[in-house]
Chains A and B, each alone.
Chain A
């Protein structure tokens, strides 16, 4: 069994790289699962024979606006924490 502190063999390096990539893919998939949940609720009433133009637009907007919301919240939260830190010094 290899010592965790020693440098990786080429075989281990390859596997490590693969795992990192799969981990990223899994995170993206998890996001998509999340979006599907939220945007289905926002945009799909009763499923029809196909997705009409309005529904498609709703779904696209839903994903983009949700991302915008997340970015804005991250920004505000960061500012808030910085302000609080500065105040407490």
Chain B
């Protein structure tokens, strides 16, 4: 087997992580937006439902960014306070 460089391995791993993350987001987004926008499933998606879904996708990403930022800030604060940041795996 040819010698594989670390760069190749690391790059592939990063891609796979990003892909897995995106797939997770897509899956969650679909669940949330279906729940929020489709009250009574009809024989097709009407215009209002389509609009709701479009907006929902945008809002989902807004929520994601805000949550990620808030979490990041909190992690920083905890570190600065030198509070024992308990790695209980519970949060």
Contacts and interface: CB of A to CB of B under 8 A. Distances in A.
Contacts of A64: 70, 74
A79 interface: no
Name the prevailing secondary structure of the B interface residues: helix
B13 A22 contact: yes
Contact of A15 (B9, B58, B68, B88): B9
A75 to B, nearest CB: 8
A74 B16 CA distance: 33
A47 B71 CA distance: 22
Interface residues of A, number: 38
Contact of B6 (A15, A26, A32, A67): A15
A80 interface: no
Contacts of A50: 59, 62
Nearest to B52: A47
Given A15-B6, A18-B6, A31-B91, 13 more contacts: A14-B6, A15-B9, A18-B10, A28-B71, A32-B67, A32-B71, A35-B67, A40-B32, A47-B33, A47-B52, A59-B70, A63-B67, A64-B74
Interface of A: 11, 14-15, 18-19, 22, 25-26, 28-29, 31-33, 35-37, 39-40, 43-51, 56, 59-60, 63-64, 66-67, 70-71, 73-74
